[in-house]
Structure 1
Amino acid sequence: MRRVVITGQGTINALGQDVATTLDAMRDGRCGIAELELRDVDRLSVKIGGQVKGYEPEALFNRQQIALYDRFTQFTLIATKEALAQSGLSFAGQLAARSGVVFGTAGGGVNTWDENYRSVYEEGKNRVHPFVVPKLMNNAAASHVSMEYNLKGPSFSVATACASSNHAMGQAFQMIRTGLCDAMVTGGSEAMLTFGGVKAWEGLRVMSKDACRPFSATRNGMVQGEGAAVFVFEEYEHARARGAEILAEMVGFAMTSDAADIVMPSKQGAARAISGAMRDAGLNPEDIGYINAHGTGTAANDKTECAAVADAFGHHANDLMISSTKSMHGHLIGGTGAVELLACIMALREGVIAPTIGYEEPDPECALDVVPNVARDAKVGAVLSNAFAFGGLNAVLALRAVA
């Protein structure tokens, strides 16, 4: 089994439009959740979100590209450009043939759906743009990245609700580890903050109207976000041979299904995924110093996740740090695991643990060290990133520092 390392990262999200700004915000415990700026917001009962503010697509893409790129694809291309610039990889010849793209997204081109439903049903138009289908399809972002950067290996999208990014990155990891590919561009993207997208989530009655407060007894629901994060995964010897800077090593991945309920999470399914990722990585519970939690801020998720961590780690659960950065950037649904991986890499490289902000009151059913409100300096050698999706689909990644 070959070793897999991360040599590039890029992002755009509510905390920042690049990695440096995002990590600064995580270190400072800044909140990117604010009042939504979108059409018909007055008809929504939930008016907050982790929205990318000050974003001007016209400054980055020409008119023809904007006609073809949904917002989630734009976000993906922006994050990919940053990740590949850091990595220094270019794809030609055999490397191009042995490199691909795997991205996660739950909704794909939701802005395109929303705009064109309005056009047809509200405005009564009988024609839509001929590029509506290629613009809204879930694989649009993966396809445009493959074309832009000459990636000719396995390229596809994963849609498993809130676990989409972790599933995508897990697949990319396995492809390199087993020898199918030498490099992969991977991560996730979501742009669901439209009138229809928010209205749909309102129907679930799990949304907060004021803030995301994971693990706090005063929490009252999740907050949607948007954005993308993209990483370059590379075979270790290939990266070393070209003198690449290695950000972290991906060492384990596990995915499980609760096979229980379409919306309610299962402690057993989550615990099996956590334990499976450590087993795949060859790590013991005491090797893990930090977990980036799924941590949505709903009672069902937070209590179930804490119970699953306690089951998987036993007495070592009390020595773990676990935080939810969703408190800062919101829940990016299919893109969330990718943005959260940035916090995992920061913990390994910089020894900074991103906090769970908005924490007000301890919950006895979430009695773990949730790094409340303020970032913490702590040296950790290995970390986990949890993602637990509607439909009972769980995906956990394990990473460690590279000396």
Structure 2
Amino acid sequence: MIVTINKVGITGMGTVSSIGNDVSTFCNSLRGGKSGIKQTPIIKEPKISVDLAAKIEDFSFSDSIDRFQNVSEEKYDHAKRLGRRAPFVIQTSIISALEAWFSARLHDNKPLPERIGLIVAGQNSTQNYQYDLISKFRKNPEYLSPRYALEFLETNQIGVLSELFGIEGEGFAVGGASATGNVGIIKGYQLVHSGLVDVCIVTGVVADLSPMDIQGFINIGAMGGKKYIDQPEKSCRPFDTQHEGFIYGQASASVILESEISATKRGIPFLAEVKGYALNLDSNSSANPNVNGEAKAMLSALNQAGLSASDVDYINTHGSSSPLGDKTEAEAISKVFKDHRSDLWLNSTKGLTGHCLYSAGIVETIATVEQMRQGFLHPNKNLEIPICKDLQFCGTAAVDYQVDVAMSNSFGFGGINTSIVLKRR
């Protein structure tokens, strides 16, 4: 009996971020070490103690969507109607998902609607939207838009994107704190690999934080930005001895996962193959990371991929710039890769984009795939004195390097550990 292995790969990608509102610009920014972190009031009122962020600035939905008009006027018109009066987090999801959809050429030859799935990787994405309405609501409860009952729910993302792309397969929203993006990719992979769908869109949503959310992170010591308040680009310092916490970033990012059978039938190449993954818990309700849990995720992902530690060329680390988080991940990497550490390159995309929270895993998967495809490794912009000497971190400038096998890590509060293994095609 011949056993067919249902390989799964990425056939399309799209992003809206602080360093580029499309994948090409994003990739050029990575190579050039461009930081999206600026001194900007995160929240105007009330005043809080951190004023640095990598926010999506000067975003115009109408300008962003115009570039798709010549690709498919029908899809363009539909997207414009859905997004014209939608919240910011919906508008950015539409743009990143459209770019991924068109780059996978699904507008030319898509599977049947019931063979397409949708994963929205996001949680609490309407916090600031709701916060902004509170004062008006208190004055006049009837002020609320009739659509509010739809728009404060995460399922609004599912409804809008499924309508736009005519999706009738499985669809749902997932959350995993800072690991949400990777959780979304893992669940999308499972849908495609199991044969429930041929194609799955995975969209990571913008974290539009409210003042209460920001202050909450400050209160537990998770957020940095005080030491380098006058030097914003130096504030996010993954694995550097001067790190002090994560810097808030914003991005929407989307990937198209597709079975090899479907991609071959449509004549679309994989940008990269998803070889393996892992998702495990620490039995821990706190924010502190766990060496054993992170090591277990990396080992499990390698095992599922059928690879050994020595096969990995590069890790896009979680690398949040949190002192405890960076130290824990460095220990876990040393534990897993042992003698291979000197041949293994490491960097952190968050040093340029800030921590994009729910979408971070997808942003960093796109960064990893682009580095594999373009043959370079982006810099660790602010890594001046590494916290450990036995790991090989990328320096302050990009280097030409061909990665064949890469790993992308994301770890979240509540003991959520994820790792994804990618192979160049």
Tell me the TM-score normalised to structure 1 length.
0.94
For residue 259 of structure 2, what is the aligned residue in structure 1? 235
Alignment: residue pair count? 398
The answer on whether the counterparts of 1:104 and 1:188 sit within 8 Å (CA) in structure 2 is: yes
Alpha-carbon spacing, 1:374–1:193, altered in 2? closer, same or farther (3 Å) = farther
Structure 1: distance between partners of 2:176 and 2:222 = 19
- Aligned-pair distance for 1:354? 1.8
- Aligned-pair distance for 1:62? 5.8
The answer on whether the counterparts of 1:71 and 1:191 sit within 8 Å (CA) in structure 2 is: no
Structure 1: distance between partners of 2:247 and 2:198 = 37
Could you tell me which amino acid in structure 1 is paired with residue 178 of structure 2? C
The answer on whether the counterparts of 1:108 and 1:139 sit within 8 Å (CA) in structure 2 is: no
- Aligned-pair distance for 1:322? 1.1
Q: Deviations over 1:314-355 (max 9, x none)?
A: 211222111111010010111100101112102221121122
- Aligned-pair distance for 1:208? 1.4
For residue 44 of structure 1, what is the aligned residue in structure 2? 48
For residue 74 of structure 2, what is the aligned residue in structure 1? none
For residue 221 of structure 1, what is the aligned residue in structure 2? 245
1:378 to 390, 401, 408: 401
The answer on whether the counterparts of 1:260 and 1:266 sit within 8 Å (CA) in structure 2 is: no
- Aligned-pair distance for 1:22? 0.5
The answer on whether the counterparts of 2:117 and 2:191 sit within 8 Å (CA) in structure 1 is: no
- Aligned-pair distance for 1:391? 0.3
1:392 to 415, 419, 425: 415
1:16 equivalent to 2:20? Answer: yes
The answer on whether the counterparts of 1:6 and 1:232 sit within 8 Å (CA) in structure 2 is: yes
For residue 349 of structure 1, what is the aligned residue in structure 2? 373
Other structure's SS at 1:190 match: coil
- Aligned-pair distance for 1:41? 5.6
Other structure's SS at 1:43 match: coil
Other structure's SS at 2:247 match: coil
Could you tell me which amino acid in structure 2 is paired with residue 132 of structure 1? Y
Tell me the TM-score normalised to structure 2 length.
0.89
How is 1:80-159 mapped onto 2 (pairs within 5 angstroms)?
80-90=97-107, 95-121=112-138, 124-127=139-142, 128-159=144-175
For residue 195 of structure 1, what is the aligned residue in structure 2? 211
Moved more, 107-116 or 160-169: 107-116
- Aligned-pair distance for 1:74? 1.4
Structure 1 unaligned blocks of 5 or more = none
2:283 to 259, 282, 285: 259
The alignment-based identity, stated in percent, is 27
Structure 2: distance between partners of 1:6 and 1:102 = 14
Structure 2: distance between partners of 1:203 and 1:118 = 24
Moved more, 348-357 or 278-287: 348-357
Other structure's SS at 1:167 match: helix
2:271 to 247, 258, 271: 247
Alpha-carbon spacing, 1:9–1:94, altered in 2? closer, same or farther (3 Å) = closer
Alpha-carbon spacing, 1:12–1:313, altered in 2? closer, same or farther (3 Å) = same
2:192 to 167, 176, 180: 176
Q: Deviations over 1:255-313 (max 9, x none)?
A: 01011341000000010000111111111111110111100001111010011111111
Structure 2: distance between partners of 1:353 and 1:41 = 39
Structure 2: distance between partners of 1:94 and 1:341 = 24
The answer on whether the counterparts of 2:42 and 2:52 sit within 8 Å (CA) in structure 1 is: no
Q: Deviations over 1:48-70 (max 9, x none)?
A: 11101111235457687444x32
Structure 2: distance between partners of 1:334 and 1:175 = 20
- The alignment's C-alpha RMSD in Å is 1.9
How is 1:234-313 mapped onto 2 (pairs within 5 angstroms)?
234-313=258-337
Moved more, 15-24 or 135-144: 135-144
Alpha-carbon spacing, 1:187–1:319, altered in 2? closer, same or farther (3 Å) = farther
The answer on whether the counterparts of 2:119 and 2:188 sit within 8 Å (CA) in structure 1 is: yes
Structure 2: distance between partners of 1:77 and 1:62 = 9
- Aligned-pair distance for 1:370? 1.7
Q: Deviations over 1:164-214 (max 9, x none)?
A: 110111011111112111000013112324434323322222211231100
The answer on whether the counterparts of 1:192 and 1:198 sit within 8 Å (CA) in structure 2 is: no
Structure 2 unaligned blocks of 5 or more = 66-78, 229-234
Structure 1: distance between partners of 2:179 and 2:103 = 26
Structure 2: distance between partners of 1:301 and 1:147 = 39
Structure 2: distance between partners of 1:352 and 1:52 = 25
Structure 2: distance between partners of 1:389 and 1:316 = 26
Q: Deviations over 1:43-90 (max 9, x none)?
A: 0211111101111235457687444x3222211110011011111114
Q: Deviations over 1:213-248 (max 9, x none)?
A: 000011111101111110111111221222113211
For residue 26 of structure 1, what is the aligned residue in structure 2? 30
The answer on whether the counterparts of 2:42 and 2:53 sit within 8 Å (CA) in structure 1 is: no
- Aligned-pair distance for 1:114? 1.8
1:54 equivalent to 2:39? Answer: no
Could you tell me which amino acid in structure 2 is paired with residue 358 of structure 1? N
Structure 1: distance between partners of 2:132 and 2:354 = 23
Moved more, 11-20 or 238-247: 238-247
1:319 equivalent to 2:334? Answer: no
1:329 equivalent to 2:346? Answer: no
Alpha-carbon spacing, 1:63–1:79, altered in 2? closer, same or farther (3 Å) = closer
Structure 1: distance between partners of 2:335 and 2:53 = 33
For residue 231 of structure 2, what is the aligned residue in structure 1? none
The answer on whether the counterparts of 1:193 and 1:225 sit within 8 Å (CA) in structure 2 is: no
The answer on whether the counterparts of 2:407 and 2:421 sit within 8 Å (CA) in structure 1 is: yes
Structure 2: distance between partners of 1:187 and 1:266 = 28
